[in-house]
Amino acid sequence: MSDDRLTLYGSFTSSSSYKPMLYLALSGLPFSFRTVNLKNGVQKQPDYLAINRYGQVPALRHRGLTIVQSNVVLDYLARTTGHFAGGTEQEQWTAREWLSWEADNITNVAKVRHYSRFRAVDPAVMDYFRPLAEAAIGFVDRSLEGREWLVGSGPTIADIGCWGRMVFMAEGGLDIARWPNVLAWSERLKAMPGFALPYDLIPKKDQEFPSRA
Ligand SMILES: N[C@@H](CCC(=O)N[C@@H](CS)C(=O)NCC(=O)O)C(=O)O
């Protein structure tokens, strides 16, 4: 396989994997998908740890480079393939700023979903994380007041990163209808060519994705 071809490692249940998958789907770029079975612990096995020392998905390989951490992968893809980077230099920095913010905050949405779906925790743990998740979604909702996208006048990696990590919110009992601006923004994303939700987009097996020209 050519070194120039993008290869993404991920899992179909993972919001972190969904973020770069969605980027690639919206960009229509060709890429190879390699599934990492989280249930079987493949992410902690030596072969995969050699790719991602944190033992997590996603990971991207391209031109001899290995890029991990979903937001760094988004930044890398925007820089190298030129989509969704933001128009002005200020917008490009603001988009990256959102990614850093989301890693601190929207991650609470992913935690609430994780504890609801995959691992039962003491109710006190949920009592701690749920308000943090709601506050993060609320912040995005207020930021979208009177605007279509988080940064500038078009979609950027900020939208893909923030939406991508909150996409499973309903599995955590967080009803998107409570946040009308977030709901409208999600509908705008859904209207973009190539858009799909995670269970429709991320395969359970290795797959080659052709260019969507
Ligand atoms: N900060 C990381 C988080 C990655 C992450 O939490 N990945 C999860 C799936 S969404 C994972 O691999 N979990 C399996 C594990 O930790 O063993 C990123 O954004 O890439």
The CATH number linked to 147 is: 1.20.1050.10
Percent of the chain with pLDDT over 70: 99
Atom of ligand 1 nearest to the CA of 68: 20
Q: Specify the pLDDT at position 158.
A: 98
Question: Same structural domain for residues 115 and 180?
Answer: yes
Question: Same structural domain for residues 155 and 79?
Answer: no
Kindly tell me if the per-residue pLDDT of 190 is higher than 70.
yes
Q: Specify the pLDDT at position 89.
A: 97
State if residue 69 touches ligand 1 by the CB under 6 angstroms criterion: yes
Kindly tell me if the per-residue pLDDT of 1 is higher than 60.
no
Question: Same structural domain for residues 152 and 177?
Answer: yes
Question: Same structural domain for residues 115 and 205?
Answer: no
Q: Specify the pLDDT at position 213.
A: 73
Q: Specify the pLDDT at position 212.
A: 87
Kindly tell me if the per-residue pLDDT of 2 is higher than 70.
no
Q: What is the tens place of the pLDDT at every residue in 92-145?
A: 999 999 999 999 999 999 999 999 999 999 999 999 999 999 999 999 999 999
What does the pLDDT average to over 64-88? Answer: 98
Tell me, yes or no, whether 51 lies in a domain. yes
Mean pLDDT across the chain: 97
Q: Specify the pLDDT at position 3.
A: 78
Q: 22 alpha carbon to ligand 1 midpoint, in Å?
A: 16
Query: How many domains would you assign to the chain?
Result: 2
State if residue 59 touches ligand 1 by the CB under 6 angstroms criterion: no
Tell me, yes or no, whether 53 lies in a domain. yes
Atom of ligand 1 nearest to the CA of 41: 17
What does the pLDDT average to over 165-187? Answer: 98
Question: Same structural domain for residues 67 and 95?
Answer: no
Which residues does 104 contact at the CB level (< 8 Å), separation at least 6? none
Question: Same structural domain for residues 98 and 56?
Answer: no
Tell me, yes or no, whether 1 lies in a domain. no
Tell me, yes or no, whether 202 lies in a domain. yes
Tell me, yes or no, whether 113 lies in a domain. yes
- With helix as H, strand as E and coil as C, how does the chain read? CCCCCEEEEECCCCHHHHHHHHHHHHHCCCEEEEECCCCCCHHHCHHHHCCCCCCCCCEEEECCEEEECHHHHHHHHHHHHCCCCCCCHHHHHHHHHHHHHHHHHCHHHHHHHHHHHCCCCCHHHHHHHHHHHHHHHHHHHHHCCCCCCCCCCCCCHHHHHHHHHHCCHHHHCCCHHHCHHHHHHHHHHHCCCCCCCHHHHCCCCCEEECCCC
Tell me, yes or no, whether 57 lies in a domain. yes
| Host domain of residue 159 | 89-190
State if residue 167 touches ligand 1 by the CB under 6 angstroms criterion: no
